[in-house]
Structure 1
């Protein structure tokens, strides 16, 4: 039997040609293509799919693609795949497939059923697309959006966003909390209803202009608050553009500036008031400046008065002590005579005479001496306070640990005698005047040591703390304690608290507070200690060399003494004579009479002379006399010895600068005074005075 299969051959050839065309296209396709049979086994993989799985063309028949499916994605892939095979219908799914290098990639699968010309189901043909990067991008975008929302909802700003056409589609949580409106009610154009009626037209006009031009949005308007009050806010927005410069989003903020606007208004009103009262302000400022100047002048006058009073009080003391010593010497002679009379003829000595010589006179002299010593100490205290007020401060960095250690060494002997200890804890450094700080801590520590409680082991602690705006130092002791009512009293000069069994007049606490106030520190007492917030005289003889050439004495040297205090003059002369100096002494009680004498022709053309000069004279300052002498061509070679109760170092240096040869401070204590004058006498006995003036 012969069958005509021409049509069948033609169909087979057409099918074969179609398959060849398919394979040619599939091999060059950029996506992964596959075909499976009725059992789901691969019968074809294009080049992209083979490279993905690492399968050679001849190995396709034995390749099991199911081994490449991620274990967690079996259901995601096999479910849709099985349903499609059973129903002979298309299916789509996503699953992670393992690439040839071992990495799992997210693959999107889309498959269609495949049929023969006779309608027989042949299997599935599908496309696999690697969408890993897309999914990662989507996840990053989602995470970024979540972060944005978290940040936007956590800040105090009102944040909003719109589409390119200005349609509002996002507000952060703060917007709804601030306005009190339900979510979504201000989307689109609904937000304009939140503006104050007087601001709506202006706000819309500026917003439309920005949408048209792409310019940044900036405006101040009143926004309705949840309280019903309209509050001033600052609105700002910036466009976000794509790579081609096209606007894809607008992001904006609203900042509540209501308090700032009110402050601006108050400031404007304040400025207007200031302008209206400018003349009054200038007048008050002028009055204040005048008052400050008056206070400065008064303060300077007080300091000068204290200094002058100290000198004027000391001068009589020198006389009292000096003539008390002379009285003691006379008493010794009287007592010697009294003893002889008592031995030879006791009947001549009455009971009153005996009492006067043996008791009354000795007691009186003793009281005079002790009283003058106390008076001298008080004068010194006043003088010291005066000097501290005039001293120029020199701030420097102070290592407080080292400074306080030096203070501890200075009181080590007293601490040892009392069985006490001084503990220095951590103390911050300070920038201040060294001498002032040393005086403050020295006075407070001395006071603490003096008033330790003998019933227990003494302990003094110094500590400090940096408070940021200042430094606090504390000096704490376990001494006798201070009655709270005396917390301020102890800083008054010559005032003390508690049992008065220690010598002194409470000058240490007064000096400490005086130094502290001068440096704008706060010094006070608390229950546990003292807290500082950083809110005997001997002769001083300074000798300079005489300028010019000196010659041996050929004529007696006359001593010109310029001294207004008759007592001082007498005591000086007595002690000079006791030193063996017999030169003529001419005494002048005023500067005017001394100048007239020194500048007279008799003196200028006479023999050599030496000047003993007091600085504090009733009619003129001794410094002026010194200057006159040293500025005169004839008299400037005459030696000048300054002999005064003033020991201010500035005065001492000034005298030396003007040409003084010797500066001697008169001590109040008579033995020291006598020793100083005798040293002067020895000096006068060996000095060579220029022969020709």
Structure 2
């Protein structure tokens, strides 16, 4: 560029090809050239329009070339270099550095660089805030951290330099005095000058470590609990390989872990039993609910009864990863049950013999009373004999009721269809003139096997005490916490003063038992009954069944 500045700046061409934003800058550059010394090089950057219409960045280096008689610069000599591509690269580099710096500042992990002597070259905001550092660059690890921590880190740094990369878990105390755990990866970073730097990234795993510790403590408590309660534990793969066995089980089997861990159930138990237990494992793997079994087992320590519970274990995706088996020694309980069963049978036999003898005596007494009436014609004597006969009949009827209910609670509850049981109950009675309305939606209840007897005696009461009854209905409706069965008739109902007493022992006649025994049968599985009818408009019995002892057809 060798034109005189004033003439150049005054030309229309120069104004056209220069970027408008750079025109003033170029004018100022030429103004500086007026006072430039000989040999002084003055640089300037500006944008100039290319023939294709785009602007290119030029860098010029100008020197005074010719002066007038007064020493003023009349011409300048310059060289302009197109630095557009380099400027783009520099801009891209600055953007990259800015993004990297922003990334380092926002990264929720500690990042740093150190030199071979352990001096900090770079540390991000997370690391600085962790320890409360304000200006760590140039300081060594020993300047910034306690000696024991710094020494441990320095040792790890040397290993990383030697190995190229290494990982470790570091425990440190932050500025607030809290213990923190970090998963740290250290690696050597070759520098452009040939030396190496130490790079490191540390991820905060404090919560993970705390969770692991809580889990470890929980498992320890679980093991202690199982050991103290004498529960054997086995953990099997879904295909029958033993993965874990606790000390209680080993003691029962008189062995050590190496005898069992990693072996298939067929290698541990004789064939027939192995197939039975393997089937249980397979069934547990496909069932969301635990399954229970009672077995009489022969072990090296002797024969015992065990309650065994099989439950599948699934991972977060729902995949079955194992079957946990808990084994509880119930030998003493089974012995007690056996002794109780023997005692119950003996009591039943004694009951039967006693009732039979009393009934025979009552029949004989009734016959003698009948003969006595024939021997005496005294009216007063006949009144006494009639009362005695009634008392004997009451004794006989009470014995019959006792015989019916002597099985109460002796057999385990079972699931029963309420509609079927109710129909069986009224089939024993004369219901020919009474219409029945049944709406139970397939309701089943878990109740004592004497449920049919309970319905039978309720309906006997209806026939005996429900004067002018022509209609009986039974229905149900679900309520909070269970379901309510409603039995209604259109008789005279229960007097208000008697409602609280009809379920008491001794209420009613023995020949037509009161509702005390009905209440007792239902109570075996937590079912309750009450009378809520309006006197004069019929009886209404509400039977409340808890949610865990009923089910509806299709929902079982």
Bin for the TM-score computed over the shorter chain: 0.3 to 0.5
Structure 1 length-normalised TM: 0.34
Larger gyration radius, structure 1 or structure 2? 1
* Structure ranking higher in helix proportion: 1
Structure with the bigger RCO (C-alpha within 8 Å, sep 6+) is 1
Instruction: Report which of the two has the higher share of strand.
Output: 2
